[in-house]
Structures are given as C-alpha cells and as structure tokens.
Structure 1
Amino acid sequence: MEANLPRPISAATSPFAAFTFNVRFPFIINQIKANNLLAPSQRNKLDDLLQEIAVGAVPQREDVFYAEDRVYWQTFLAAHAGKRYVDIPFFEAEAYIYYRVIHIVDYKHSGLDPFYRIKADSLEQHRGFAEAAASRHMQQPPVFEVTYFTSLLHAALWGNSADLSQLETNDALVNPALRNNLVIDDSSALRRLLTTGPTKELDFIADNAGLELLADLFLIDYLLTTGQVSRVNLHLKAYPTFVSDATIPDVAGHLAILRSLRHRPLTQFVDRLESYRVGGRLQLLDHPFWNSPCHFTSLPQAITQGFNRNTVLIFKGDANYRRLFEDREWPYTTSLEGMLEYLKHPCFSIRTLKSEIVLGLTEHEVRRLFDADKDWLTNGKYGLIMGNPTYF
C-alpha cells in the first residue's frame, strides 16, 4: 500500500461506527444475556464492559489474553491502552470488544458460544429454502456450467446480507427483491481464473454462519465436484466473534442440523461434503489471527505458507474487506491497482456493503449511488464481487 495512508475509520468520524458503540453493542450484549445461562458474575462483567465502552477507556490489562494470540493483543494495548473506544480504529475496537466477551463467558474452558442460538436459528428458520436449494443442487451433473456457477456465486454474495450482528438483516439470499445491485462485478474474471490454466486450489476465508455458510458450502461443493479446484482450504474463526462469524464447530453443527432434517438431497449433500473432508479435498482450518485486531497486510507466515502456488484467495464479507484495506478512510474512487499486491496471489472479495468503506468506483457511480440511496454503504442491499486487477 502507498506511504501516505488515509486515517483509520473510527467512531470519532464515522456515523456508522458511532451507531455501533451507542446502539448495536448494547443490543448485542443484552441479547447474549437473554440467550445464555450465565453466572451473575458474568452478567455483571458484561454490564461493566458496556459501561466501559460508553464512558471509559481501553484498560491496561493482559489477564484476558490467551497464550496463542497474546502477541496480537499486546501490540493492540501498546497502541491504544488508556484511549477512549471512539478514538481508536473502529475494526480494532470491535475485535477487542468481542474478544472480551469470549473471555467473560470463559469460552476456552466452558465451550459456551454466546452466539450459538441465533446462528442455529438462522439456519433452522429457513428449512424450506435449504431443502429447495439442495434439491436443485444435487440434480446438477458433475460438469462445470457457467450459469449455475454464477448463480451459486451470487447466492454466496447475497447470503452475506444475513449478518446477525446487524440490527436489521436483509435475507437477500431468500428474497431477491432485496438485492438492489452489484456495484462491482468481477465474477467473469473469477470464473476464468478457476477454469483455465493449471488446476487451482481455493483458500476461502469465511465470514458468517447460518444462511451465508450454507451458500458458501454449496459453492465449495460445486467447485470440488466439477473438478475446477483440487482442494478447498476453508478458513474459519478460532472462537466465536462478531456475533455470526463461522467457526469449525459451526460447520459441524450446521451439517448436523441439515442431516437432522431427513431430507434426502440435503443428506446427500452433507455426505458428499464429509467425503471431501475425510479425503482431504476440503480442509477446515482456523487460526487466532483471524480473531485478532490485525489487518491482512500483516498475515502471518503460519497462514501464508499454507497457500499453494496456484491458490486463489476468496475473502467473504464486510469485515474481511475492511481488513484487506486496513479499514481506512479511502476515497471511494481509489484505484485498486497495486492495492492487494501484498497477498502475492489472485484474490477476490465477495461482500455486501455494511460499513463505510469501498474502493474502485468512478465519481459518476458514487454520485449515482448516493442519489439513489443515502444509506447504500451500510444497509447490506448493495454488493460487490471484486478481484485484484493484476491477475485479470
């Protein structure tokens, strides 16, 4: 990235970030208390955390760190201890608050995912959609077909609108009327990359559980079944965060839910995914970096050394997009040329817009979008399938 970087997005300057601290976090923490059997001391600590966010500052304390990710959070404290949450970079503050929640519920020892209920509910409440999608999917021949691939890619995109950390989810995957438009569409470039030249591996950095994860798994299954990729490495969070972000236990739990519906196409779909996992063509991976406050400009070697020479990277969702560009106040017309060279692989972001950052647009497009919808940056009704132009 360039030397003269824009300042990080923070609640001091971003209306959406300020809304998150003032409205979304109180809602989320109260939701945790309502959905989980917590000890009185844990409830008190959650209340204290809310008070700390509202009027306090980041405390200088290391007793909340796990050994495996201490290095990330020590760096965070060195930069931000003593500062108000609204004055530090928005993404880093969000990541830290969710990390604190996980410590309060003692996830590493209790195994309690404070967001499990709403993640499971989001899948179970759409049983009809899941069954219809599986019926259609399992009838597809094992030969790559552009139209069906594109439909799965768009399903993976609009599944990202069902983000359970938002106060209002759009479920654009289920309801096409909620899909306003794609502001960037590099899907043909992604298709060419996956279908030409040497067989690729796919490193897929997941975002949300629930409907989005289901849509992602249909896409992954199709690429493996048609032989367009030799292997998929599905990267997941090491522990629950950002309400609906997917973990390895979420994948297992979702597949168990799908199997429990006793719908033959869904069972066949789950069986095939399990066969790919057992055979090594589908790997479920996690790493504490994905939960850290760090951006992808500092991806650790422990992750990048696993990228095959012919790997294509797909980053799902809003938070991953923010981390690609360090969640800074980039002008919307910033060129994408050279911006993602640090990844050293072709990469794509598949995301519905739910925060105040987007690059690669023209001035005319920006004016048109603001004229059409003043909330287009944050309401999840606009999406992008954006690739690194170096590899087109």
Structure 2
Amino acid sequence: MPHSTDNTPARGVWTSDDGTMAYDTARNRWPKIVQGMVDDFAQAASTCDGTALVEAREIQVALKSIKHEIINNKALKPLQPDGVGDVVKFNVEIEQTERGYTWQDCPWLFGECYLYRRVQSLFARSTDWNSFDVFKGQKDSTFVKSRAAVEELAKRYLEMMQNLEQASEEALRLIFVEMTQVALWGNATDLSLLSNLSLDQVQKLQGREAIERSQRNIVDNDTEEVWGYLTDPHRSNRRIDIVLDNAGFELFTDLVYTAYLLESGLASKIKLHVKDFPWFVSDATPSDISSMFEHLCSVDMFPNRQALDILVPKLRGLFECGAITIGQHGFWTTAASFHEMEIDATGLFKCFQGSSLVIFKGDLNYRKLVRDALWQPTTGFKTAIGPLGQTSGIKVLALRTNKADSCVGIENAARVEELDREAPGRQWVRNGKYAVISFSDGR
C-alpha cells in the first residue's frame, strides 16, 4: 500500500488552531464536561456530613474554578503535589514553555491530560473522597442504556463460537474480520454497524458481501495483514496485550473480543491494560471491570439471561484461570505521547517487545500513538508512530473510530479527496463514523 515517505515530524495540534476539533473542545466541550462533574459530584455528596461534607464543598468550589479558568482562557496553573511523581513533569512542562500555556492556547493532548490530572489531584488530596470516581454515574447510566446491545452481542457471540472447530479456513477468516469490527466499533451501541452473521451464514460464505459492506468506512484497513500474521504457523508467541479505552459497552465488547481471541487459539494469554484512576470521563479502571461483572449478573439490569448466564461464567473463568490478567502503569495517565514510552516507561516498552501483538483501543490511544500531530493523511502508520514503529520489535494494532484531528495511513491523495467529498471539512477524521484498523509489524 503506497504511503508518503516523508519522515518530517508533524506539528502537534493546539487548542488555538482554528477549525480543529481541539479548538472547539477547549471552548465548548471542556466547560460542559467540568459542569457535568460539578453536577454529578453534588448529587453524590448530598447525603454526606462531617469532614466528608466539608471536603466535598471545597472540591465543588475547585471544580467550578476550573470551569471559570477554561471559559476565561486563564493560564494553566501548576498541579498541587498529591504523592504521585508525574506532577513534577506536568509542572515542568507548564513552567518552562516560552510561549506560556493557557486553556485555549496549548497543545491539545497536554491540555486535555492536564485537565483530568488536575481533577484527579483534587480527589487524591482529600481524605474522604480519595478513591471516588466522579465519572461512575455517567459510566453506569450509559451502560444501562446499552442493555439491548449487550444481550444481542452475547447471543451472537455464543452462536458464532458454537461450531468454531468445524469452520472452514475462509469462514474463520471472516469470523476474525467480524469480531475485530465488534472491537473496533465498540463505543457505538448500534450493532447495525456490523454484518449480523451467524456461523452458518459465514460457513456458507453468504455473508462475505455483508462483511465487506460493513467495512466501507474503515479508511485504513489492515485486517488481512493482521489475520495473516496471527495465523502464521511459525508464530510461537501467543501472548497479546490490549490497551483498553472506555468502560461500559466498549469494555464489554473488549471482553468478548478477548474471549474470542483465546477461544479461537489466536492468543494463549491476554493482558488488559487499564488506567490507575478515572481518566477522560469513561476510560476503564480496575474497578470498572469489577462493576462490569456486577452489572452483567444483575437480573434487574439485564433480565434476558439466556445468553448472559452462559457467557458471564465463561468470562469469569478466563480471569480465574489466568488466561486474562489486568495490568496497570502510571504512564497511561501522563501527558506523554507514546513516542516517549521507550524513555519514560522503559519497562512497559520492553514488555510490549515481548508481546505477540499490542492492541491499542480508541481515540486517545491513537492520538498518543501518532503524537496527536497534524500529519498528512497519506503518511504511513508505521512512520507516524515513531519509536513504536520501524525496528521497534513491537507489533502494534490500532482499533480506532475517528474522533480527533489526526489520521494517517490513507492509501493515496485520491482517496483523501474522495473522503473530503463524502464528509467535507475533514469530518471523516472527527465525526466518529469513520475508523481505522492500522497495523505495524515493528520491522
């Protein structure tokens, strides 16, 4: 697949870049997100008293102050120490920049990470609220709304896996395509994005057209290359790492995809990498995985039990036998792009070098992979991910629905022009209706 060979580093997008999603986010989305925190926390604190009430009022005042700073484009303030070492790096970045950072004039990736890290610091420095997840209410309410999609996907997965051993090679390939798209579009509860095939339909190859049609909005699609790599008979290492994105329905699709990779033999062990604390509203933490199982076992939340009563014990068993493990690392909640992983998180980098495949889920992980930079869309994915690309020894797979300003790996300029006609104003990079399945073999 031809791509631009220009290795010149692209400039990162700033919140002052007019016409970008970064520009709109800093002025419109961030104040709304913080107001949502204020409202949800006020409700959570409404029944407390004593020191918890005193601290709650202080945190509410601080959250409102952050919103005021954003709206009025104030300078970014140094973070207050809360016992975690990354505060120093955030503050060095703020204090040493010559230009000076304000909310509406700073690197988007840094400013967004700073926002969530500053909120975390408010809770971390408290006594009664230091383990509180200000986003839990939003996560739970969103998951409740996905009831039908969860029950449908559970049923379809069990049907698909029922006779996996009898499937032909072509059917197995089509199942991989379908299941990878489940993981790709996991942040959309509308399963009409998928081809809705039973194993029998796939086996008879009646569904090839439906699967191909469902791929029309995947603007960089390396699925076949990944399938070829994973089914290579000479591949002895079958450990896979998945760097998770959102909790809720997307986390459920990730667990289903994880089960598929294990049940199909494409993986022998899988480590799920989560955030240490609440991050970017809905990013998955260890407690979100526990909550997921509580919700899935709830008859009130999921009354249609036929498929879930089979699938949920299966998923639990994979955790209990060690086939699925959970990994945490402080690097995930810094403002660093993944270009800095080799230096800032050497152990994590080496861990990934020893993995058969590292799957990065979602938009934030993609932004960090490509340094949140305004590359030409025809730039090769392997080029854009820098130290994790060529000669890194890390097999990288990015599954991302496009919701930001950066997108690479497009075949050629003619395809970019076609996409610009379909979704003018580069909306195909931002509106969540297009996606990428991008692979780098690390060679």
Task: Report if TM-score (shorter chain) is over 0.5.
Answer: yes
- Counterpart CA distance in 2 for 1:53 and 1:219 is 39
Deviation at 1:246, TM superposition (A): 0.9
Bigger mean CA offset, 193-202 vs 261-270:
261-270
Alignment of 1:155-166 (within 5 A): 155-160=182-187, 162=188
| Residue matched to 2:204 | none
> Using CA pairs below 8 Å that are at least 6 residues apart, which structure has the higher relative contact order?
1
Tell me what 1:189 maps to.
225
Counterpart CA distance in 2 for 1:192 and 1:68 is 42
> What is residue 18 of structure 1 aligned with on the other side?
23
How far is the alpha carbon of 1:250 from its aligned partner?
0.7
Aligned to 1:58: 76
Q: CA deviation at 1:46?
A: 1.0
SS in 2 for 1:91: helix
CA contact (8 A) 1:58 1:80 kept: no
Instruction: Give the deviation of 1:323 after TM superposition.
Output: 0.6
Q: CA deviation at 1:71?
A: 4.6
Aligned-residue RMSD, C-alpha: 2.5
The whole-number CA distance in structure 1 between the counterparts of 2:26 and 2:397 is: 30
Aligned to 1:233, the other structure's residue is in SS state: strand
Alignment of structure 1 residues 46-85 onto 2, 5 Å? 46-54=63-71, 55-59=73-77, 61-80=78-97, 82-85=100-103
Q: CA deviation at 1:106?
A: 3.8
1:221 matched to which residue of 2?
A: 259
**Corresponding residue number in structure 1 for 2:211:** none
Question: Relative to structure 1, is the Cα distance of residues 97 and 174 closer, same or farther in structure 2, using a 3 angstrom cutoff?
Answer: farther
In the alignment, which residue of structure 2 is the partner of 1:33?
38
Q: Deviations over 1:319-350 (max 9, x none)?
A: 11111111112111223344446222111111
Show the 5 A alignment for 1:236-385. Answer: 236-260=274-298, 261=302, 263-299=305-341, 300-307=345-352, 309-340=354-385, 342-343=387-388, 344=392, 345-361=394-410, 362-374=412-424, 375-385=427-437
Give the gaps of 5 or more residues in structure 2. Answer: 46-55, 196-213
Distance (whole Å) between structure 2 residues aligned to residue 118 and residue 13 of structure 1: 30
Distance between the aligned counterparts of 1:90 and 1:385, measured in 2?
Answer: 24
- The 1:326–1:2 alpha-carbon spacing in structure 2 relative to 1, beyond 3 Å, is farther
Q: Is this contact kept in 1: 2:182–2:194, CA < 8 A? A: no
Tell me: CA distance 1:35–1:282, structure 2 relative to 1, closer, same or farther (3 Å): same
Q: Which residue of 2 aligns with 1:112?
A: 132
SS state of the match for residue 155, structure 1? helix
- Runs of 4+ in structure 1 off by over 6 angstroms are 177-180
- Note closer, same or farther for the CA distance 1:275–1:68 as it changes in structure 2 (3 Å cut): farther
Within the candidate set 228, 233, 246, 1:208 is matched to 246
Q: Once the two structures are superposed, what CA deviation does each residue of 1:6-32 show, in whole Å capped at 9, x if it has no partner?
A: 221001115311211111111111112
**Paired residues of 2:80 and 2:121 also in contact (CA < 8 A):** no
* 2:268–2:323 CA contact under 8 A, matched in 1: yes
Residue number in structure 2 paired with 1:167:
none
Distance 1:341 1:193, change over 3 A: farther
Q: For 1:84-123, what aligned pairs fall within 5 Å after superposition?
A: 84-106=102-124, 110=129, 111-123=131-143
Q: Which of the numbers 6, 12, 19 marks the counterpart of 1:8?
A: 12
Contact 2:94 2:101 in 1 (8 A): no
Q: Alpha carbons of 1:242 and 1:173: their partners in 2 closer, same or farther (altered >3 Å)? A: farther
- Contact 1:159–1:172 (Cα < 8 Å) also in 2: no
Question: SS in structure 2 opposite 1:315?
Answer: strand
How far has the Cα of 1:389 moved from its partner?
A: 5.6
Distance 1:390 1:56 in 2: 42
Please identify, of 135-144 and 240-249, the stretch whose mean Cα deviation from structure 2 is larger. Answer: 135-144
The answer (yes or no) to whether the contact 2:82–2:125 under 8 Å persists in 1 is: no
1:308 Cα offset (Å): 5.9
Percent identical among aligned pairs is 27
Name the CA distance, whole Å, in 2 between partners of 1:2 and 1:95.
Answer: 29
Hey, what's the Cα distance between the residues in 2 that align with 1:79 and 1:16?
Answer: 26
- SS of 1:314's partner is strand
Shift of 1:78: 4.0
Secondary structure of the structure 2 residue equivalent to 1:293: coil
Q: Is the 8 A contact 1:153 1:219 kept in 2?
A: yes
Q: CA deviation at 1:211?
A: 1.5
Q: Which structure's CA Rg is the greater one?
A: 2
Distance 1:173 1:351, change over 3 A: farther
Q: Secondary structure at the match of 2:429?
A: coil
Alignment CA distance shift 1:290-1:191 (3 Å):
same
Note closer, same or farther for the CA distance 1:107–1:186 as it changes in structure 2 (3 Å cut): farther
Counterpart of 2:155 in structure 1 is 135
4-13 vs 322-331, which moves further:
4-13
Contact 2:135 2:282 in 1 (8 A): yes
Q: Which amino acid aligns with 1:35?
A: D
Q: TM-score, normalised by structure 2?
A: 0.79
Structure 1 unaligned runs (5+)? 163-170
**Greater alpha carbon shift after TM alignment, 279-288 vs 192-201:** 192-201
Cα distance per residue 1:42-98 (max 9 Å; x no partner): 221111111222321011x34244424335424433444952123221011000101
The count of aligned residue pairs is 381
- The residue number in structure 1 matching 2:198 is none
Which has the higher mean CA deviation after the structures are superposed, 8-17 or 321-330?
8-17
Give distance in 1, aligned partners of 2:193 and 2:355. Answer: 36
- Distance, in Å, in 1 between the alignment partners of 2:88 and 2:320 is 33
